[in-house]
């Protein structure tokens, strides 16, 4: 589920970019923010897997 982005948040993101930033810089910041928000939503709803279980699934050990 996508988070509703307000104009205020969009303006803050743009304002934090350095002078000379490119569209790619802005798109990267948007992508990172969206990924973090999705991850936090997964944690909040319990959609997580313990790292040891992931390692076991893929045959990885410490």
Residue-wise pLDDT tens digits, 41-61: 999 999 999 999 999 999 997
Q: Predicted confidence band at 6 (pLDDT cuts at 50, 70, 90)?
A: confident
Per the document, the length of the chain is 62
The string of pLDDT tens digits covering residues 9-34 is: 999 999 999 999 999 999 999 999 99
- pLDDT at residue 1 tops 60: no
pLDDT exceeds cutoff 90 at 5? no
Query: Does position 3 have pLDDT exceeding 80, yes or no?
Result: no
Spatial CB neighbours of 14, under 8 Å, sequence gap ≥ 6: 26
């Amino acid at each position: 589920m996508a988070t509703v982005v307000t104009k205020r948040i969009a303006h803050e993101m743009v304002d934090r970019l350095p002078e000379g930033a490119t569209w790619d810089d802005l798109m990267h910041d948007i992508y990172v923010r969206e990924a973090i928000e999705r991850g936090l939503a997964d944690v909040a709803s319990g959609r997580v897997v313990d790292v040891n279980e992931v390692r076991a699934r893929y045959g990885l050990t410490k």
